[in-house]
């Protein structure tokens, strides 16, 4: 199935991942219907899409069933990126997180079932593994959530599987590992790379929580988009797949790399106490997605960072000398 003739729906369309995915889908010739409640998403992210005749935007909430039923007409594929996305916020507001992520996703699945949507691709998270010592994380190992956010993502994965088995919907859950890149916001609840870039621009030292030995499998947004398209065009029904670069980097090495690439080594690093609830190491075994979808990440962390920095300098007219 080729994406170009399809009518696709993107939830969370004005967010970091949803908007990047939408630009790619439109470039490939798909018709995109985007929905977002604009709680976190920003219309600015849709500047390009809103000028495309194959794009429609509807402001609304995935918890509103009638809104979904109205919009879901002749939709072939749904990319479900809308979510309550912050782990620390979910600890403060577990009910809100549950409401948006679980009730919203169940609404979406029910509306999709009623409207005969072919396929749903769901944005899950590596958070479902919790802090188990096994590395790399593979799909069949125990999932031991340690935050309300992780509980909601795990529950949604189960709903995806059940709607596949019981109602025959084609569902795929993609477990993203630390995605970074253009349009990720520099906010206290955002990813570390966006936060550190914000600090570099303001000529501030980078803050590491802990001793810097924590590691993450940072995954560049363009690889995440690539794998979403692969999941749409190929068969992966009922599957749950890790999506990562498949190579971990420590926070200390990442900080040094960002300072080196931006030529700002003099800013240095400050070590603060570890952040409560942080997972120590996270790293994806991506053999399953390589086999099922023939996915091959195209960006190492350094290549992704360079691409992101170039985008950032151009977009915000910042003069960083990238090494």
Helices of type H across 94-220: 94-98, 104-114, 148-167, 192-201
DSSP 8-state symbol, 275:
P
Give the N- to C-terminal CA distance of the chain in Å, as an integer.
41
| Angle value at C-alpha 212, between 223 and 205, nearest 5 degrees | 90
Find the shortest distance in angstroms from Cβ 246 to ligand UD2: 16
Find the shortest distance in angstroms from Cβ 143 to ligand UD2: 12
Neighbouring CB atoms inside 10 A of 64's CB total: 16
| Residue 149: active-site member | yes
Residue with Cβ nearer ligand UD2 (34 or 148): 148
Q: Are 23 and 249 in contact (CB under 8 A)?
A: no
Directed axis angle between helix 251-261 and helix 192-201, to 10°?
40
Residue with Cβ nearer ligand UD2 (179 or 240): 179
Q: Which of 149, 159, 220, 312 is catalytic?
A: 149
* Phi, psi for 295 (deg, rounded to 5): -80, 135
Which residues of the shown chain bind ligand UD2 in the complex (CB under 6 A)?
85, 87, 125-127, 178-179, 190-192, 195, 207-209, 214, 216, 251, 275, 278-279, 282
User: What is the C-alpha to C-alpha distance for residues 315 and 197, in angstroms, rounded to an integer?
Assistant: 14
Total residues belonging to the chain: 323
DSSP 8-state symbol, 12:
T
Residue with Cβ nearer ligand UD2 (6 or 145): 145
Residue with Cβ nearer ligand UD2 (6 or 264): 264
Residue with Cβ nearer ligand UD2 (251 or 284): 251
Residue with Cβ nearer ligand UD2 (65 or 209): 209
Find the shortest distance in angstroms from Cβ 4 to ligand UD2: 30
Find the shortest distance in angstroms from Cβ 88 to ligand UD2: 8
Residue environment code for 277-300, b if the CB has 16+ CB neighbours within 10 A, otherwise e: eebebbbbbbebbeebbebebebe
Residue with Cβ nearer ligand UD2 (3 or 305): 305
Find the shortest distance in angstroms from Cβ 150 to ligand UD2: 7
Find the shortest distance in angstroms from Cβ 204 to ligand UD2: 11
Neighbouring CB atoms inside 10 A of 272's CB total: 9
Question: Comparing C-alpha atoms, which of 52, 72, 69 is closest to residue 10?
Answer: 72
> Any idea of the CA torsion for 14, 304, 256, 147, to the nearest 10 degrees?
50
User: What is the C-alpha to C-alpha distance for residues 234 and 263, in angstroms, rounded to an integer?
Assistant: 42
Find the shortest distance in angstroms from Cβ 87 to ligand UD2: 5
Active site residues: 149
């Amino acid at each position: 199935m080729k994406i170009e003739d399809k009518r696709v729906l993107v939830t969370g369309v004005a967010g970091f991942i949803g908007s990047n995915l939408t630009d790619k889908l439109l470039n490939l010739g798909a018709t995109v219907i985007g929905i977002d409640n604009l709680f976190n998403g920003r219309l600015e992210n849709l500047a390009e899409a809103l000028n495309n005749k194959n794009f429609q935007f509807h402001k609304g909430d995935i918890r509103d069933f009638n809104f979904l039923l109205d919009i879901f007409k002749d939709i072939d594929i749904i990319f479900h990126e809308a979510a309550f996305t912050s782990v620390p916020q979910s600890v403060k507001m577990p009910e809100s997180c549950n409401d948006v992520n679980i009730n919203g996703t169940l609404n979406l699945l029910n509306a999709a079932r009623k409207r005969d949507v072919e396929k749903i691709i769901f944005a899950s998270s590596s958070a479902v593994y919790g802090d188990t010592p096994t590395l790399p994380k593979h799909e069949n190992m125990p999932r031991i959530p340690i935050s309300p956010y992780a509980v909601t993502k795990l529950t949604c994965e189960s709903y995806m599987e059940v709607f596949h088995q019981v109602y025959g919907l084609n569902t795929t859950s993609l477990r993203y590992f630390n995605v970074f890149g253009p349009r990720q916001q520099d906010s206290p609840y955002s990813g570390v790379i966006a936060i550190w870039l914000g600090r570099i621009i303001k000529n501030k030292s980078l803050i590491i929580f802990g001793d810097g030995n924590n590691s993450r499998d940072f995954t560049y947004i363009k690889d995440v988009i690539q794998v979403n398209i692969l999941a749409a065009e190929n068969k992966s029904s009922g599957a749950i797949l890790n999506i990562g670069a498949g190579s971990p980097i420590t926070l200390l090495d990442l900080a040094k790399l960002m300072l080196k690439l931006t030529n700002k080594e003099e800013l240095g690093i400050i070590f603060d106490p570890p952040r409560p609830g942080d997972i120590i190491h996270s790293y994806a075994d991506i053999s399953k997605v390589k086999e099922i979808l023939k996915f091959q990440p195209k960006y190492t962390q350094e290549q992704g960072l360079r691409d992101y920095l170039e985008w950032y300098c151009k977009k915000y007219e910042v003069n960083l000398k990238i090494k």
